[in-house]
Structure 1
């Protein structure tokens, strides 16, 4: 099937030479244009309208050289882990000026001979990951060089075939995006339900009277290898739930145990607001609190309290450490919480539970679509499966 594919040097597909990002020390940040940091590269596959830090770009005639355009590929030059080096993401929208920092390599392809979305998907596939791993250097941290990246030799189809492959994979990613947007709307509706229930509430109690911190631990080797595992990397920032789920056999050392009804909250660098209430049992990092409601308190109410910005603000106020702050349960347990009356609590919990069922039904769709996409990546990117065969 690959008789019409050819081996090309990646750099021969570039519209212009690749470019490393600009130096933007902390002291100059806060004004300027949006800055894609390593945090965004590792948190997102598609770069668009996410909230980012601001940084100035160099003044003068070369300012446009530092700005990103739709279709640019961004590669992580360095990572603390071998798997993270060379991670690729795609710029899909640039509604306001956006630049990128020095640990990132920008690649701008010639659209006449290369489809940037195809190469984004390629570098997600087993073949693409193997190509990146072949140029990773491991010293203090794992990293790649722009010169090695452009000299990669890749076997790819003509641009028309690239676009047919992209059409198949993009259809699945659009479904995922739509479902995640609906999940966000359901989460917002749940927030409204609980806000209304607590308006005018004249009862205040400490958070520690509503929930306890579970200390149950298990060794991953003692459980089913396929049991779900959640590390901090599986949580979105800003209270936006889960990005994905790992497996118990992906982890080592003692882990915390969670069950349906528990709310999870990342205690390390709590300002990221990594939180979720999974509808399944699993293991999680010990850097994640497993917060369990006391008898009689709806799990959805505890989840709502933990997801709010004022919970994180309170947690940060009592956290220890400067560079890597950790929240302290003894402090958070003292946080005052307004509690609705019994009737209001029961009514809100019923509505919240209905919204939650819809939320996790969409999550199941997301998981299925992601699994299908990832299963297609390998054969589509090696030519062993044609896009028209998928459509059939």
Structure 2
């Protein structure tokens, strides 16, 4: 599947390899489908070929139109591509797939870590089934029944919105940049980012470890912890805990389904509803006694460290794969005599 039409010419020809679909699906009118008819073709090999910088440049140059660039069937049909022997296609696809398999495994590990953290937050801070909860009495509070010794506060008591606006002309072009498109859906793992050179609008500066929250509807579920220092879109809120001990509670709170629902319901504006931090700071939060807070903090900090470690492993794997790709495709690296298991690469 290729991006057929987009206002950003650089996105034209961006592709996705589809495999093992077990049900009927449809695709957007802004995409175009390519299906091979030759039995001398390994589709996954060409999926990698179409990712190469040379092919991406070709697609960008071929896109026609004025305000909207387009890729059509005529351009795809007339596209000249190499046709290596099947064994070579198999081997190249197998080499590059090995990197993708490692990336996929690391991504699954990130998902498991995040799910564990969400489950513990929900058990401890929503259902109040924390360690030794049977021995703690429930008492009345302004938030209803909460465990004795827990303190009800507002989000604004433990977190703040940091607005460090910076002139784009003063930013190093290679500074990491996070737009809303880089924030993943329902995940705190910010594994993709661009550079400041890609966007000329006003940006917000953030430090490593601060929380980025998409404030434009429908992006309220886009929340992540910055693995690096950089700049982000002004359509994001940069959230910082007022004290280090509060950081895990703040992170768990603003990434919870309940908070996302609250941000959606209280958003302001008609054409482009936005979350209002002055409203969000009133969101209720409960703080447990210090021993339990420290126990939760240790778990979250260790989990976050593992997630960030996996993020950088995946980035290194992608960079290595992308460096290998053009050299394998061009034949600069000869794979003909390499003993490679290609059983997992379907014809």
Unaligned 5+ segments in structure 2 are 129-145, 341-347
Tell me, yes or no, if structure 1 residue 293 matches structure 2 residue 247. Answer: no
- 1:41-79 Cα distance to aligned partner (Å, 9 max, x none): xxxxxxxxxxxxxxxxxxxxxxxxxxxxxxxxx112111
Name the CA shift for 1:82/1:206 in 2 (closer, same or farther; >3 Å). same
Match of 1:186 in 2: 113
Name the CA shift for 1:160/1:259 in 2 (closer, same or farther; >3 Å). same
Tell me, yes or no, if structure 1 residue 128 matches structure 2 residue 55. Answer: yes
Query: Offset at 1:186?
Result: 0.9
Name the CA shift for 1:297/1:389 in 2 (closer, same or farther; >3 Å). farther
Query: Offset at 1:265?
Result: 0.8
Distance of 2:336 and 2:121 partners within structure 1: 48
Match of 1:110 in 2: 37
Distance of 1:147 and 1:278 partners within structure 2: 43
Tell me, yes or no, if structure 1 residue 85 matches structure 2 residue 9. Answer: no
- 1:254-295 Cα distance to aligned partner (Å, 9 max, x none): 211111231111112244611111232111111111001112
Matched residue count: 319
Query: Offset at 1:320?
Result: 2.8
Q: TM-score with structure 2 length normalisation?
A: 0.85
Tell me, yes or no, if structure 1 residue 269 matches structure 2 residue 198. Answer: no
Whether the 8 Å contact between 2:6 and 2:69 is mirrored in structure 1 is yes
Match of 1:161 in 2: 88
Write the mapping of 1:243-262 to structure 2, written as runs, cut at 5 A: 243-262=191-210
Match of 2:298 in 1: 350
Name the CA shift for 1:388/1:313 in 2 (closer, same or farther; >3 Å). farther
Structure 1 counterpart of 2:77, from 150, 162, 166: 150
Distance of 1:304 and 1:122 partners within structure 2: 41
Distance of 2:116 and 2:39 partners within structure 1: 45
- 1:100-140 Cα distance to aligned partner (Å, 9 max, x none): 23222111113612121112111111121122123201323
Distance of 2:171 and 2:81 partners within structure 1: 41
Distance of 1:217 and 1:390 partners within structure 2: 53
Whether the 8 Å contact between 1:264 and 1:289 is mirrored in structure 2 is yes
Whether the 8 Å contact between 1:293 and 1:302 is mirrored in structure 2 is yes
- Secondary structure at the aligned position of 2:285 is classed as strand
- Secondary structure at the aligned position of 2:205 is classed as strand
- 1:317-346 Cα distance to aligned partner (Å, 9 max, x none): 122344533222122122222332222111
Q: Which runs of 4+ in 1 moved over 4 A?
A: 388-392
Whether the 8 Å contact between 1:260 and 1:279 is mirrored in structure 2 is yes
Name the CA shift for 1:102/1:251 in 2 (closer, same or farther; >3 Å). closer
- Secondary structure at the aligned position of 2:8 is classed as coil
Tell me, yes or no, if structure 1 residue 141 matches structure 2 residue 68. Answer: yes
Unaligned 5+ segments in structure 1 are 1-73
Considering only CA atoms, is the larger Rg found in Structure 1 or Structure 2?
Answer: 2
Whether the 8 Å contact between 2:220 and 2:264 is mirrored in structure 1 is no
Q: TM-score with structure 1 length normalisation?
A: 0.76
Match of 1:214 in 2: 162
Whether the 8 Å contact between 2:266 and 2:276 is mirrored in structure 1 is yes
